[in-house]
Structure formats: structure tokens, C-alpha cells
Amino acid sequence: MKFTGPVLAGQDETMGERIIFYTLHRSGSTYAHEVCRAITRLCGIKYYSPNRGADEQVTARQLAEDRSFWPGRDGCFGPLRFFMPIEPAETDKIILHLRDPRDVLTSMFFSYCFYHSGEVPPATGYRKEVADRGIDEFVLSLATAKESPVVGDYGTGCHLWPIAGNLHNRYRQYLDHLVGRANVVTLRYEEMIADPAAWLRKVASVFSAMEADSIVAGLGDSCRGAAKPEADDIWSHKRHVTPGDHKEKLKPATIGTLNDVFHDVLKAFDYQF
């Protein structure tokens, strides 16, 4: 999938700082939201987000399709879980926070089938049917299908499939539009888990309103570390955060296929395959 329409211009000289936080579903985006919300409050910057609790909550669909939304607005925007068809100006500051796509797909299965809230209760109806067909079928379809292979969202972004596309497309859009730009800081979910203090400081360093050390010192304890679950619980929102979870949950043949599908992504972001 490619966005074919004209792109929006970025901010003009009269605007303040604009920071855009891009990521993906199942990549610590809820924690990223809490961090962005806390930092913007410290810095006195307006925060726009699809998540609740922002200064202005705006849907992902509006951010992606309402071409009148962006001009004249500054502040922090995120977490945006797929590339939006806008072209940030060189003066924009971009955070691109990614996770191994094979682990993202694994996490999406458990989110979709078992614990994410939604119209149909977990492990019932069409969600149970997906669970019964198994994780391997699920991850391969979400990685490559041209149309959404499942009903509903449940932490997958599938309700926005016509805009976001399959998971490989979501990564490919980032590779095509953001990777290699001088104004993009690329972060990894794996570092957020292994060394949350270092990850947090890198996020804080993007905001120029305050020194990074002052921002980190001013954040509450809930933002200073990404909490880890005590057990691998399929009913928990933070079911399993350790990198490489796909190796334990997927068949070798499935992993091999995903390695082929995401070869460009894995190579670009130095994930082993």
C-alpha cells in the first residue's frame, strides 16, 4: 500500500516546536503515551493523542485523513501507530519507536483473542474462532493479507486496515518515509524493556523546552520504568515483554516465512533472523 495523494506541508516559521511520536501497536505504545503526556505537561506543550488523557484527544482516522487538522498546530502528537500521509517539515522532530515485527504479531494474537476489551468478550464468538485456528495462521495473515483477515480491532489496528494495511506495510511505510532522515530519532522497544532509563532519556532529549535530565527528574515513578509482568499470562495486557517471544510461540516454519516477509525490516533495524 502506498499513499498516493498530495502531502501536507510542515510547520511554518511562526509555529512552535512540533514533535511526532510514531510507533506500532503492541510496542509499548500505552507506556509511550503516559511518557508523552507527562513530558508535555512538564514542558508546557500541548499534547494531541488518540489515547485518553491528552490535552486534545483525536482519532487516528482523523489524524490520517483530515487534511485540515495539521496546519497551524504545534506540540506533541502521539503515539501514532502507523505512518500518517503527511510529510513533516525538516524542523519537525520525529521519534520512531519500533519493535521486532515477529514479536508484535505474537503479542497481537493474545491481545486479539484473550485480553483486549471490545464489543465481543475475550475468548468468545469470532475471537474464539481465531484462537482455535491458532497463532501461526493469525500472524501470517496479519503480516501479509491485502484485506483485514479478522473482525474488529482488539489491539491490532485492523479496524484501520484500509489506511494502515498489513503489518509489513506499516513497517515498509516507515522505512520509505522516515528512516535515514536527519530529524528522526529511532528507538527500540527492546531497549525500553532492557534499559528504560536510557530509553526515557532519549525521548526526553527530543524536547527542547527543558534539559533532558530535568525532564527525567521531574517525571513520576510510573514513567521511569516499563513494568514487567511476573508471569506469562494470556489474560494480562502486559502478558510477556521479553524480546524474542515469537521463538517460544510460533512454529519454526512460521518463523521462517516471517523472516522472508520481513527481511527488509529485520535487516534495516538489525534484528536477528
Are 25 and 160 within one domain?
no
Over residues 36-87, the pLDDT tens digits come to 999 999 999 999 999 999 999 999 999 999 988 998 899 999 999 999 977 6
Q: Going edge to edge, which strands form the sheet with 184-188? A: 56-57, 47-49, 75-80, 18-22, 93-98, 184-188
The arithmetic mean of pLDDT across residues 164-179, rounded, is 96
Are 118 and 156 within one domain?
yes
Domain boundary among 191, 208, 223: 223
Residue 119 lies in a domain: yes
Are 126 and 216 within one domain?
no
Are 64 and 32 within one domain?
yes
Of 201, 215, 250, 176, nearest in space to 7 by CA: 176
In the beta sheet, which residues pair with residue 98? 188
Are 24 and 87 within one domain?
yes
Domain carrying residue 130: 101-165+228-268
Residue 2 lies in a domain: no
Are 96 and 27 within one domain?
yes
Residue 12 lies in a domain: no
Over residues 128-157, the pLDDT tens digits come to 999 999 999 999 999 999 999 999 999 999
For 20: left if phi > 0, alpha if psi spans -120 to 50, otherwise beta; the answer is: beta
pLDDT score recorded for residue 7: 43
Residue 90 lies in a domain: yes
Are 137 and 41 within one domain?
no
pLDDT score recorded for residue 10: 45
pLDDT score recorded for residue 87: 62
Are 91 and 50 within one domain?
yes
Residue 13 lies in a domain: no
Q: Is the pLDDT of residue 91 over 60?
A: yes
Burial class of residue 73, CB neighbours in 10 A (0-12, 13-18, 19+): middle
Confidence bin at 11 (pLDDT 50/70/90)? very low
The pTM assigned to this predicted structure is: 0.89
Are 157 and 23 within one domain?
no
Count of domains forming the chain = 2
Residue 1 lies in a domain: no
Residue 150 lies in a domain: yes
